[in-house]
Structure 1
Amino acid sequence: MNATPHHQDARGNRIFNTHAHHQTVALGEAIGRRLKHGLVLLLFGDLGSGKTAFAQGLARGAGVPESCTVTSPTYTLVNEYPGRLPFIHVDLYRLPEPVDPDEIGLRDIFEENGIVAVEWAGRLHPADRPPCRLDLFFSVTGDAARSIRIIAYGLDPSDLLNDIDI
């Protein structure tokens, strides 16, 4: 699939460059396959930057069946899907900033034993973000090209992010 291999920047962040929609999906799937336990992933980026495509791949990697259509839960706020690990997809786009995680049950969701992907995570106050998580920053770099910077908090990202071939 030939996405540009990831590299590590001076701060230890991992950066992946994808050149097509299917590569962004494949990156999510590769990371989802490597997860052995629950984890929160906070997705940051503008409209159309690849957050939902990545989340769809993440769901497949977590074992969500192909028969389940994974869509952005913009109007429902939270969608949950069965899989090898439950996949919980949260979209904060329609909520005002800052979001109160207690009002919408987000703290409870963060403690679920599944993969939690939160789109529009910038609406969360930094103090309300779980200490153990991945932050992913999506940038549009061309018509279908994306740069995805991943920062790990409270865990060693080497098992998740090294040697990913998309």
Structure 2
Amino acid sequence: MSLKFHTFSAEETIDLGKKIGNFLKKGDIIAMQGTLAAGKTTITKGIAQSLGITEEITSPTFCLISEYEGKMPLYHMDVYRLDGGEDFINLGVEDFIYGNGVSLIEWSEKVIDELPKKTIILKIVPVEGTTEREITLENWPYGEIN
């Protein structure tokens, strides 16, 4: 199933993240795609809140993987600095993406071939000159989000 949303502020993007997060189950993987400053970390903040995570969510650009504890673990990855799928696998990500938590992968375009077919694709496209974001969920297994 594919779903499309429009948000008009960071707060609305966080709220959508909360709604998405309320559906997620252990082992879910979300491959996030979007340009620099599209809102990938912003929507991650909402997903984290829905999982009961109270820590500050920041982009893991320099540490590559941040792990947060809540109702279930959240593994927030940023693969921007990697050269591709081999580097991704060499990080030991199998423990995360096949683990007991939810994995969110920013810049997933670089490693998409290494992810399972069940991976949820989340695309964020900023509307130029505005705070609007077009957000698409592909391969979404849980039905409508209200």
- Say yes or no: TM over 0.5: yes
**TM-aligned CA deviation for residue 63 of structure 1:** 1.3
Q: Percent identity between the aligned chains?
A: 30
Whole-Å Cα distance in 1 between the matches of residues 112 and 138 of structure 2?
17
Pair 1:146-2:133 in alignment:
yes
How far the C-alpha of 1:117 sits from its partner, in A, is 0.4
Which structure 1 residue ranges, 5 or more long, are not aligned? 1-11
Give the greater-gyration-radius structure (CA): 1
Residues matched between the structures, number: 145
Say if 2:92 is the partner of 1:93.
no
**Greater displacement, 71-80 / 133-142:** 133-142
Unaligned runs of 5+ in 2: none
> Distance in 2 between the 1:110 and 1:39 partners?
8
How far apart, CA to CA, are the structure 1 residues paired with 2:24 and 2:47? 10
Deviations 1:84-131 (A, max 9, x none): 0111100011112345332111222111111110000011042x1112
Q: Which residue of 2 aligns with 1:13?
A: 2
Contact 2:79 2:88 in 1 (8 A): no
Task: Please state if 1:69 is matched with 2:59.
Answer: no
Residues 1:137 and 2:123 are matched in the alignment: yes
Deviations 1:33-92 (A, max 9, x none): 222433100000100111110111111111112xx1110100000000110011110001
Question: What is the RMSD of the two structures over their aligned residues, measured on CA atoms?
Answer: 1.5
**SS of the counterpart of 1:17?**
strand
**Cα pair distance change 1:99/1:44, threshold 3 Å:** farther
How many angstroms apart in 2 are the aligned matches of 1:148 and 1:99?
Answer: 28
* Structure 1 Cα separation of the partners of residues 63 and 25 of structure 2: 27
Q: 1:48 to 1:99 in 2, by over 3 A?
A: farther
